[in-house]
Amino acid sequence: MKQYYPCNLGGAYIEYGLYLTFSAKNIGFTHTDTVEVVMDFYLPKNSIVSDSWLWIGEDIIRGKILDKWTASQIYEDIVQRRKDPSILHKVNADRYQLRIFPMAGDESRKVKLTYLVPANWTSKTVS
């Protein structure tokens, strides 16, 4: 769903909610195998990621926005205990990386990312 926001950052932004489901089913992994999801993706320059959600069983957990060093330390500590974290890094102006661990080889993991993209506003259209 798109929503339009006037923004104190200058101009207007469009909000996007992106739902993603990852799975390693039917490619040879079993329930005892665990994999880490790694997804690199791009957003338009000057986009703003406002939140991240991870489904853990029936629960939906909202991610925290932290500096990269703190977030990486927490993620690595949790991964070593084989718990359920996800981490989203802004690599540069338009490139991001999402990681989720663990995912059993015969299961799936679901996330939601919400982000704002600068809108192009003319007298006739908003895009």
**pLDDT tens for each residue of 78-98:** 666 555 577 888 888 899 999
Centroid of chain to Cα 126 = 25
- Decide: residue 104, CB within 10 A, 0-12 exposed, 13-18 middle, 19+ buried: middle
- Locate 120 and state its tokens: 């192009």
State the pLDDT confidence band at 1, using cuts at 50, 70 and 90: very low
**CA-angle at 21, arms to 1 and 36, nearest 5°:** 135
Q: Is the pTM of this model over 0.95?
A: no
State residue 81's pLDDT score.
Answer: 55
Residue-wise pLDDT tens digits, 27-47? 888 878 888 899 999 999 889
- Locate 19 and state its tokens: 């739902």
